[in-house]
Amino acid sequence: MPFWPSPISTRDVAASGRRPAWPTARDGRVWWTEDRPDEGGRTTISCRTPDGACHDLLAPPWNARTRVHEYGGRPYAVTPANEVVFANLEDQRLYLLGADGKPQPLTQEGARYADLLVRDGQVWCVRERHTGDGVVSRDIVTVPLDGDGEPRVRVTGHDFYAYPTVSPDGRHLAYVCWNHPHMPWNGTEVHVTSLETGASWPVKGGPAESVLAPSWRDDAHLYLVSDTSGWWNLYETGLRGEDVRPLCPAEEEFASAPWQLGGLPYAVLGDGRLAVLHGRGDLRLGVLDPESGTLTDLETPFSGWDAALTADGTSVTGVGYAATIPRSVATVDLASGAVTRLRPDAAGRLPDTALLPVPRAVRVPGGEEVHAYLYPPYEPAVEGLPPYVIFVHGGPTSHAGSAFDLEKAFFTTRGVGVLDVNYGGSTGYGRAYRERLRGQWGLVDVADVVAAAEWLAAEGLADPARIAIRGGSAGGWTVMAACCRSDVFAGGVSYYGVSALGPLVAHTHDFESRYVEWLVGRPDPAVYAQREPLALVGGVSCPMLLLQGLDDPVVPPEQSAAFADALSERGVACTYLAFDGESHGFRRAETRTAALAAELAFYQQLFS
């Protein structure tokens, strides 16, 4: 079956990846980061001034990205003088971007910095120190804003830190900490340290509770998010963990998994109310009265928001999205209800919204229900059942939402449907749903995507002979494992996927170095051989396309290369494409264009 002509090209998709993120609002100004695929994939910092004009503050070749935990996060903070402190990708040093637009270094090389906060002439942040052998330590430090002096350690002793925040009176520091082998969505604690005596104490959390995002209500009380109820809900607590009080108990999530540092899923408004995100699956925006517990949703054109809000008086700013609206930095004025879009994700020409797929949230039946979003193909006139591609998100503790995605429209406008699966282990549906994957990676995720493909065929939505599967990172693992364990897929596409557990555990970065213990179990070659795709490659009979960045510090290139070699040795059709200069997640426009063109060609041959 030839694909239909589409007005959406590979270059259109590549150009749409500006990905605005990490807004900061203050005194009528809004700052945010923005990726530039057409500038080598660098990230700039932009600002909207009170007169409505938008400016890029960081000129090439400066690149505002931090590599703490390798996944990074918010790479900048704003000073009281409206200057910007940022981490530069190339050397990971902190720089002060003054009014003259010339960055001045604040730190030396050898360390990485994230979760920045400027207070009292200092940058408070998480520091990750490195040597040639990897991570030496992490701590919370202060860096003098005038560049005079070395960083001062404020808190140390734990493997990981996040969300440093100083009390209004400057006497206490609150933060989240955790240790190996936990991940932040498994077990964390909120601690408070006296900045006068150095004494520290736990406030809430533990090995079976994920506590996130502390912020100060006043000098003696904290807000935070905890999943002690089975859902990430908001709580208030005293300085020493006394009088813990849920603010709005609900079987909904008020946060998402903190893969990156620096995002706060709620914001304190000028009148004491909280702008919050909540829901199942996508998170919608509302206003919560912490005294009464009353939660009122706001009317906006967006179906969901990224978990990073910022407040400025009676307005709240975040990154909103909808199926037909590109991810956008947007401000909501609570007094008037007005919504102002500051900058959308997509650059250049956008297709007619009539061509954009509007997803339908579905539940796939099976041993346990599986959540997914269905994107039917655009069908003006067609006979027979269409082909479909199962999308598998990475993480695996992550979530596929319903955001505008020109990549999905690239396929649906060509007559190919998409089913984006939130398999067991995904976030957005409570802790129990996340815990389905504990010790079951390579089994539960595979069973869920296979069930999703079988459901498409049983419902008469897809041609059962033309269902493919694609995913990246942990999603690439599921793609390979599913093709090993099932013959339901006509072909598979893996972007920088995991194929072998032993090498991954030995060589991956520190943040995820013990993650496999939760996903599979303690290192055991016999168990690994029952799970990993490379050991099960004999079960693959369908063609595969493997794409990989050669500078990937998270999933080394050897993972994809070894699987490609194993398929070739067995005579299974396989194409392996490697890209110089690309890391974990393709950022350059030319790479994204080439990868998508290769994927389209793969499906054209597969579905013909």
d(CA 279, CA 273): 19
d(CA 414, CA 389): 12
Note whether residue 230 is domain-resident.
no
Q: Report the pLDDT averaged over residues 448-458.
A: 97
Q: For the whole model, what pTM was predicted?
A: 0.93
> What's the pLDDT tens digit per position in 5-63?
888 888 888 777 688 999 999 999 999 999 998 888 899 999 999 999 999 999 999 99
Note whether residue 381 is domain-resident.
yes
Q: What are the φ and ψ backbone dihedral angles of 338, each rounded to 5 degrees?
A: -70, 140
CATH number for position 598: 3.40.50.1820
112: how many CB neighbours lie within 10 A of its CB?
25
Cis status, amide bond into 503, omega within 30 of 0? no
Query: 550 lies in which domain range?
Result: 353-607
| Residue 329 scores a pLDDT above 80 | yes
Nearest to 23 by CA among 47, 55, 52: 47
Note whether residue 249 is domain-resident.
no
How many structural domains comprise the chain? Answer: 1
Note whether residue 342 is domain-resident.
no
Note whether residue 424 is domain-resident.
yes
Length of the chain: 608
d(CA 265, CA 230): 18
Of the chain, the percentage scoring pLDDT greater than 70 comes to: 98
Q: Where residue 197 falls among pLDDT bands split at 50, 70, 90?
A: very high
Residue with tokens 């082909």: 387
Note whether residue 217 is domain-resident.
no
Structure tokens at 218: 């006043």
Note whether residue 203 is domain-resident.
no
> What's the pLDDT tens digit per position in 551-601?
887 788 899 999 999 999 999 999 999 999 888 878 788 888 999 999 999
SS3 133: coil
Q: Do the Cβ atoms of 113 and 103 come closer than 8 Å?
A: no
Note whether residue 578 is domain-resident.
yes
